[in-house]
Structures are given as C-alpha cells and as structure tokens.
Amino acid sequence: MSAPLPFTLPPAFIHRVQETLGEQFPAFLEALRQPAPVSIRLNPLKLTSSPNLEPVDWTDTGFYLPVRPLFAADPWWHGGGYYVQEANSMFLEQAFREAIHGVEDPVVLDLSAAPGGKSTHLASLLPAGGLLVANEVIRARANVLAENVTKWGTGNVVVTNNDPVHFGSLAGFFDVMLVDAPCSGEGLFRKDPEAVREWSEASVQLCSQRQQRIIADAWDALKPGGVLIYSTCTYQKAENEDNLKWLLENESVENVPVPLNPDWGVEKVTAGKLEGYRFWPHRTRGEGLFMAAVRKTNGKLHQPRRSRNKAITPATRKEMDMVQGWLSGEADYTWIRHNERLLALPDGSMNALEQIAGNLKIVSAGTEVAEIIRKGVNPLPGLALSVHLNRETFPVQEVEPETALRYLRREDVLPEGSPNGWGLVSYRNLPLGWVKRINNRANNYWPKEWRLRMDLAEALKASEQEDRLIHRT
C-alpha cells in the first residue's frame, strides 16, 4: 500500500490528468508523494569551479542537492553566487539558445519576471552586448526582482514595473519575449499545498483567458522574426496547447523546435503545427512545466522615438572620472546618469535604454555603480555585487561565516586590520557589500530591505550544513 498524499487532490484535477496520462497516472501520483527535488543554478561569472554535485541535464549551470539546506544562512546565496530554482524551469536554456541563434546584440523581454529565476538565467545566457528587460506588474514583486537581479550582478538587465499593455508602445522592439505566465499552478502542488487549495476548473479557465490577454497586449512589442517563449507551470491543455492554437488562429507564427535528448524524459506535444514540451514529475526530476517557442512571421518594425524621460541622461566626463577604475577594464560600458545615480550598461545600449525609459517605469538599470553626493560619489551595493567590479580599487576583507552573517544582519562589524574609508566585505572570495570604516567603528551599507532576519546562532549552525553541501567546490 502506498502512503496517502499529504494533500487532497481536487476530483476534477484527478479526472483531467488521468485522462491525459492513462497508465502513467499511478507513477505521477507516486511522484507527488515524494519530496520535491532541490536544485540550484550557479552564477557562472561568480563561481568558476564545478561543484561535486549531480548536474541537471538541460543546462550547464544547474545542480541537484541531496537535501534542502537553509539557504538564507548561506552568504553565497545573498551574494548572488547561485539561485535556488527548480530544475525543469532551467530548460529555458535550450529554448533561449534556439531563439537567439544568429541574433546580434539581442534585446530580450521577460514580461512576468518576479522573483527572477528565469531573468537571472537569461542574464547569464545573453551574449555580450545583449540587454534584458525584466518586467513585473506588481510593484512589491518588482522590488524583489530588482534585488535578485542586483545580487546576480551581470549588469545587463533593466527592471521595469509595467502592465503588459504598456509594451504595445514599443512595437517591434524585442528579439525575444518570454511570457512565463501566471497560471493555475498544478506543477507546484507538492511544493506548495496552497496551490492545491486555490485550484478549480473555473480558475483554469480564468488563467487561460488572462494568458491570452497578456500575450495579446504585448504581442506588438515582438519584432517580426522574433521569438516568443511561452511557459507555465501547469499541465492543463487550456493553458498550454489551446493557447498555442489560439495564437495560430490569430497571428502569423511558425514553430521553433527545441532539441530534446530522448533520455531526458520530456514529453513533446503538438498544437496544430506548433510544438510544446511538457515536464511531468514522474518523468523528470523537477516540477510540472510547459514550454514552447514560436516565431512571429510578420508585424510592425520598430520606429525609434526621442526619449521623453529626462531622468536618464548620458553621464558627463566629470561624472565618469569620479568612478574611474571602479569597474574592470575588460568590458566597455555605456555610462548613464539616472537621477542621482551613475549606472553602467553594456556598451552600445544607450538607444535601447532611451526607448525603454521613454515608455516604461524603470525600477533599476544595469550596474548601479555610485550615488552622486555633494562632495563626490559613494559606491552602491550593486557595485559590490557586480561581476564587473574591479577588486583592485577597494580594500577587500575576507571574513569568517560568523562575521559574514553578522554583516548580512546589518550589525556593525569591524573587519580586522581594514584601513579607514570604504572597504568590501567578502566571503570565500565573493564580495557581499560595503563597510565604511572611521577609526574604531564601521558603518554597514548592506541595504536594510535585504537584512537577514534569522537568529545568528541558528544561521551559524545551518551554515555548517551549506559548507558541506555547496562549498565543497
């Protein structure tokens, strides 16, 4: 006798999935009885050695962990060394590689991006010169997205806080558009019992209609020849295949096949001449997911307009001189002044940024390097966390786990032997943030909204487990 499920599945859900899966249904139920696998995606520009962990098949940077540690107690997690993400979602890497094949300096939109799992992945996959607009309609969630993007530190992302309909004014602007749509969340059932309670047949229908509206609202923003990557974390045909069929009926599109290895266990499904890829928890080690890639074959070309946003201007020579040498010289940058901040974006992105700023509400952009004050400039948290930081410019203090955790709790820590002035707190060679020493005290510049709220003793104990699991690299 199998153990009962830890939650009660709605009968209508059982009926639908049973119909789709047939004799595989008992295996599916058995998978729901198991704990969800734990996986992380490493930041390849922060952690360079391969960990001694089991890899996720469809990405170069994903790994399974044997148990779930308390991630909040790991300074590397706070410092953007890795992102905790369920493994099947990392299939985005395969679809995205197809989507940007042959595109120079791609401009990419992640339309419903918070909390940032797929955005941080896209940011790492973008070639140099590419730019990602990571958008989230709900303001509080857009702030969390900006935090995660800042910690990831790639500097090639503009975070915006807009409704999909606002993207209509950027007609033909994006080479790739990811719509990771809000959905009925069936794929999350074993991770989140709340998703089971909220499920109903009516909500599936509502989600399907909302997904169509989201795609329709933003559709003009995709270039002719550009690729839509559509994904949900649900099994329902109404939210997946039926939406592809709806797209076929209403727009001019063609299929973009994503290569599959038969050993992966991914199910390929069809919707007319389009294809989708479905992930089941009994066939792959991860949660329920659907993904498809579709090329737009006609539509409007982008007509650049002059920016109406006066808050964004090119930085002056004098402003750039104040931060001379703060970023590594390996890449070229476009320097921007946004209100009182100096930002660095990928070289050549001024025109794109002007268009974005003229049409959308920007939450953060590129690497936030410095704040302009009366007497000069102060370094910003985004610089400490940036993969472009020039580590030669500021004194770096390597600290032990306890000091790192105290720092993240925003306690005043005084790294031993540090000189007066600005210094970086670093944990296992990963810079976290700034302290400013004035003789026998030091101010902590870790942002208060990011403060670690966990009890120090508990965090220290848990960090020993991370040490064994993640840091054996």
Active site residues: 233
Per CB under 6 A, 154 contacts ligand SAM: no
Judged by CB under 6 A, the residue of 53, 65, 107, 114 near ligand SAM is: 114
Q: Which residues contact 237 (CB under 8 A, 6 or more apart)?
A: 20
Write phi, then psi, for 183 (nearest 5 degrees): -145, -175
323 scored as a contact of ligand SAM (CB under 6 A): no
- Coil, strand or helix at 55: strand
Write out the two tokens for 323.
């931060």
Among 46-54, 134-142, 242-250, 413-421, which window interacts with ligand SAM (CB under 6 A)? 134-142
Q: Residues, the chain, total?
A: 473
Residue 373 structure tokens: 């004050």
x/- site string to ligand SAM, residues 174 to 213, per CB under 6 A?
------x-x---------------------------x---
Smaller CB distance to ligand SAM: residue 112 or 386? 112
Alpha-helical segments (H) within 234-283: 241-250
Amino acid at 413: V
Site for ligand SAM (CB under 6 A): which residue of 16, 41, 78, 118?
A: 118
- List binders of ligand SAM among 207-246 (CB under 6 A): 210, 214
Q: Tell me, what amino acid is at 87?
A: A
CB 112 to ligand SAM: min, Å: 3
Stretch that binds ligand SAM, among 11-19, 31-39, 130-138, 284-292 (CB under 6 A): 130-138
133 binds ligand SAM (CB under 6 A): no
Q: At a CB cut-off of 8 Å and minimum separation 6, what does 403 contact?
A: 413, 415, 425
d(CA 139, CA 10): 32
Contact between 168 and ligand SAM per CB under 6 A? no
Number of residues that bind ligand SAM (CB under 6 A): 16
Phi, psi (rounded to 5 degrees) for 115? -85, -5
Instruction: Mark residues 285-314: x for contact with ligand SAM by CB under 6 A, - for none.
Output: ------------------------------
The single-letter DSSP state of residue 211 is H
Please report whether residue 86 would count as binding ligand SAM according to CB under 6 A: no
Binding-site member from 69, 79, 117, 281 for ligand SAM (CB under 6 A): 117
Q: How far is the CB of 134 from ligand SAM (least distance, A)?
A: 9
- Smallest distance, ligand SAM to C-beta of residue 425, A: 27
Q: How far is the CB of 74 from ligand SAM (least distance, A)?
A: 19
Distance between CA 300 and CA 224 in Å, rounded? 7
Return the number of the residue (115 or 265) whose C-beta is nearest ligand SAM.
Answer: 115
DSSP H helices in 69-200: 75-78, 92-99, 117-125, 139-152, 193-198
| Residue 166, both tokens | 């606002």
Judged by CB under 6 A, which of 18, 21, 141, 302 binds ligand SAM? 141
Residue placing its CB nearer to ligand SAM in the complex, 180 or 275: 180
In the complex, least distance from residue 43 CB atom to ligand SAM, rounded to whole angstroms: 15
Secondary-structure breakdown of the chain: helix, strand, coil percentages, each rounded to the nearest 5:
35, 25, 40
Question: Of 350, 353, 332, 334, nearest to 342 (Cα)?
Answer: 334
- Binding part of the chain for ligand SAM, among 112-120, 279-287, 318-326, 350-358 by CB under 6 A, reads 112-120
Q: Is the dihedral of CA 149, 150, 155, 157 positive or negative?
A: positive
Does 164 bind ligand SAM (CB under 6 A)? Our answer is: yes
Inter-residue contact 309 to 286 (CB < 8 Å): no
Least CB distance from residue 89 to ligand SAM, whole Å? 6
**1 CB-side CA count, 13 A:** 3
Q: Min. distance of Cβ 230 from ligand SAM in angstroms?
A: 12
Cβ of residue 366: shortest distance to ligand SAM, in angstroms? 20
Is 457 a binder of ligand SAM (CB under 6 A)?
no
Q: What are phi and psi of 83, to 5 degrees?
A: -125, 135
**Identity of the residue, 122 or 274, whose beta carbon is nearer to ligand SAM in the bound complex:** 122
Asked if residues 123 and 338 have their Cβ atoms less than 8 Å apart, the reply is no
Please tell me whether residue 116 binds ligand SAM under the rule CB under 6 A.
Answer: yes
Which residues, listed in sequence order, are joined to residue 372 by a DSSP beta bridge? 377
Instruction: Catalog residues that contact ligand SAM under the rule CB under 6 A.
Output: 112-118, 136-138, 141, 164, 180, 182, 210, 214
